[in-house]
Amino acid sequence: MDVELPTSNDDFDHKLLANIARVGWGVIGIPEDDEGPGFAFSVGLYRTHGHPEVILIGLPWDVSYALINDLGASVKDGKRYEADRTYDDLTEGSSTVFITVDREKYREYFGAAMWFYRGKHFPALQWVWPDRAGAFPWSPGQDPSDWQRQPLLGQSSASDAASR
């Protein structure tokens, strides 16, 4: 995707643009606060590799940073990740699933990406991780209040996505 790069306004912008130029993406971390859990997301994967941006919610910053960078390296090598498919090769010992992020959630969760793309002109996937028992939020018998650490920013198009 050919997007004209925005102008750097400060050191944060400059560092993000430098990371995107150097490796093809940057990772932004937002700490947990009174309004919700911390999260991390990519910026630049779509521009550089035509792959949706990726967000992880509720994991420690160092874990999210490493996972998103590992995913970015896989994307750089040609791997593609899609919504509503189970992946067993991304985290040791558990399966994960991606869901498409609703664009209504972009303003709250993708501020730096919206600055970079000058709006909501990019796709995004939420990387959803299971609980300790291997269940996902949409698995039968799950209580949505148990998933406050990982609010879903979209919906799984199939309630059995984790079993595919």
Task: Write the pLDDT tens digit of every residue in 117-128.
Answer: 999 999 999 999
Q: What is the pTM of this model?
A: 0.90
Q: Is 141 inside a domain boundary?
A: no
Beta strands 26-30 and 86-91, pairing class: unpaired
86-91 sheet: strands from edge to edge: 26-30, 39-43, 53-57, 124-128, 94-100, 86-91
**Dihedral sign computed on CA atoms, order 13, 69, 95, 37:** negative
Closest CA to 127 of 49, 74, 58, 29: 58
Q: Which domain holds residue 124?
A: 11-133
> Into how many domains does the chain fold?
1
Q: Is 23 inside a domain boundary?
A: yes
Render pLDDT for 16-61 as a digit per residue (tens, 0 to 9): 999 999 999 999 999 999 989 999 999 999 999 999 999 999 999 9
Which amino acid makes up residue 110?
Answer: F
Q: Is 63 inside a domain boundary?
A: yes
**Dihedral sign computed on CA atoms, order 132, 90, 73, 111:** negative
